[in-house]
Amino acid sequence: MSDQDPRSGTTHFGFRDVRVEDKQKLVGEVFSSVARKYDLMNDLMSLGIHRVWKRYFVATSQVRPGDRVLDLAGGTGDIAALLRDRVGPSGSVVLGDINGAMLRVGRDRMIDRGRVAGFEYVQCNAEKLPFPDASFDLITIAFGLRNVTDKDAALREMERVLKVGGQVRVLEFSEVKAEWFKPVYDFHSFNVLPRLGQLFAGDAGSYQYLAESIRKHPPQDELRAMMEAAGFARCSYKNLSTGIVAVHTGYKV
């Protein structure tokens, strides 16, 4: 199911309804604001566990030496760096992000680490990818799909640029399954997180949006159905940390 309401021309930005054409700009402002504090943001949102989730996400991706990989919403390069270690000198990783500030942070971090070879940086919209059909062996998107305005279009584009037999993997905040934990999680998201954002990054509003965007993201079974509708086969998901996040997988046949 798409976030957009074709009858009203609106979509959601957190808990607010906004015009479809305005969402991309609003999301861009959020990530331009938090780009330099993005790792801190993830630490605050996940209590640091995002680093474990990301390592698991890449370690179970079946990526092989020589593969060409697209990491969408690549942000500050955490996933791209892990993938680069696995594709080896004969492989390559394209770090794609719609936000120029985020892309610059990712590029600068790689240069600072002395990691230059084997990376490409492309500013691109996931809904209209600037790549030919069947360009990649693996496509990953971590903590980015929920910020895309038209998720259905983005999934179709991922299917288009993936090679036959290739895999798409989505790591995203999802629906908590443990009933006892839901009140604790809600309190952290809506009471603690914005205050920490204000304290550490001087930006409570962006963190409030990010907490709201998690609740508006399609839950596990709905996202799996969306991936199937986009043309992916053998779609499945695995919950991590009682469903705080889920790893979704699909294949092109």
Which positions make up the binding site?
76, 97, 125-126
Question: Which residues make up each annotated binding site for S-adenosyl-L-methionine?
Answer: 76, 97, 125-126
> Helices 151-161 & 220-229, crossing angle to 10 degrees?
50
Strands 245-251 and 233-240: antiparallel
Cα-based distances in Å from 222 to 20, 51, 152, 226, 252: 21, 26, 12, 6, 19
Helix (H, G, I), strand (E, B) or coil at 132: coil
> Helices 193-201 & 204-216, crossing angle to 10 degrees?
140
What are the tokens at 35? Answer: 């780009």
Q: Which residues of 40-63 are buried (b: 16+ CB within 10 A; e: fewer)?
A: ebbbbbbeeebeebbeebbeebeb
Helix (H, G, I), strand (E, B) or coil at 238: strand
DSSP 28-73: HHHHHHHGGGHHHHHHHHHTTTHHHHHHHHHHTS---TT-EEEEET
